[in-house]
Amino acid sequence: MLIFAHIFAGALLGLGFWNLTNDRRAVPFCILGSILPDLIDKSLALLFPSVLGEGRTVFHALMIVIIIFLCILIFFRSVSRWLGAGVACAILFHHVFDEMWTLPTTWFYPLLGPFQGHLIPDYIGTYFWYEITNPSEWMFVIGSVMILAQSYHYLPVIPHIRRSDFLKTGTYKFFAVVFLGIGIYLVVAGFTSTTATVLTPNYDKVLTVIAGMIAVCGAFVMNWEKAYNPQRIAP
């Protein structure tokens, strides 16, 4: 799965941990966890292409999630423990969204032997092109920005709703509906193996379904936030 889908999934997870901990830092922490495997492994792929050139190696192994969880239990306390758990959960979600079960040697490293990656020619250029040609990625960019705006512009409840607040709420609901529609479309497209349309991302059918489910979850979470936490709507 591409980077902004991971970021949006991390942002949604961060909203959940924000409600759990009442600490808005959960959103950027979970976003960091959602992209950490790619930030590290793709950097290693550029540094050591002959050994780690596939780009899904060390931080795409289940072992790293177990180590992080153990470190959290041993060294973290109180709210910090929950924030650390959010990062670890985001990394695990990244593994799921990358279908790591299809690469058992990497996911269960070192139980099944060494990494069996291969060098991808023009690594950065290839994935940059995939990124900008996926319409779903632009949708996830918008959703991620909206959620980040909430976490960085937290406002107390305003007793008298101004005209501009109706615009904010309307905009928020509009994007929730858009996410729901596109999400349902992607799920259906994945199950029917529809890959030749403008809105269908350059994924296999399983990842297309997963991308759609992330968008649908985003629509429900965004609507829930508007209904139950109106003070968190981005200013």
Q: Say if residue 50 is in the same domain as residue 107.
A: yes
The domain of 145 spans 135-235
pLDDT at 121: 62
Q: Say if residue 95 is in the same domain as residue 144.
A: no
Q: Say if residue 4 is in the same domain as residue 87.
A: yes
Mean pLDDT for the chain overall? 79
Q: Say if residue 113 is in the same domain as residue 174.
A: no
- Per-residue pLDDT for 128 more than 80? no
Q: What percent of the chain has pLDDT over 90?
A: 20
Q: Say if residue 45 is in the same domain as residue 148.
A: no
pLDDT at 160: 46
Q: What percent of the chain has pLDDT over 70?
A: 77
Of 132, 155, 171, the position where a domain reaches its end is 132
pLDDT at 35: 93
Of 132, 148, 179, the position where a domain reaches its end is 132
- The token duo for 82 is 């929950």
- Per-residue pLDDT for 158 more than 70? no
Burial class, 204, CB count within 10 angstroms (exposed 0-12 / middle 13-18 / buried 19+): middle
Rounded Cα distance between 96 and 100, Å, is: 6
Question: Under DSSP, is residue 48 helix (H, G, I), strand (E, B) or coil?
Answer: coil
Rounded Cα distance between 228 and 194, Å, is: 36
Number of independent structural domains in the chain: 2
Neighbours of 188 (CB within 10 A): 13
Q: Say if residue 177 is in the same domain as residue 107.
A: no
Give me the count of residues in the chain. Answer: 235
- The token duo for 111 is 């139980």
pLDDT at 165: 58
Rounded Cα distance between 66 and 69, Å, is: 5
Q: Say if residue 107 is in the same domain as residue 162.
A: no
Q: Say if residue 93 is in the same domain as residue 46.
A: yes
Rounded Cα distance between 230 and 222, Å, is: 11
Q: Say if residue 14 is in the same domain as residue 117.
A: yes
Confidence of residue 159 (pLDDT cuts 50, 70, 90): very low
Of 132, 158, 190, the position where a domain reaches its end is 132
pLDDT at 146: 81
Q: Say if residue 100 is in the same domain as residue 211.
A: no
Rounded Cα distance between 77 and 85, Å, is: 11
**Widest CA span in the chain:** 63
Q: Say if residue 101 is in the same domain as residue 159.
A: no
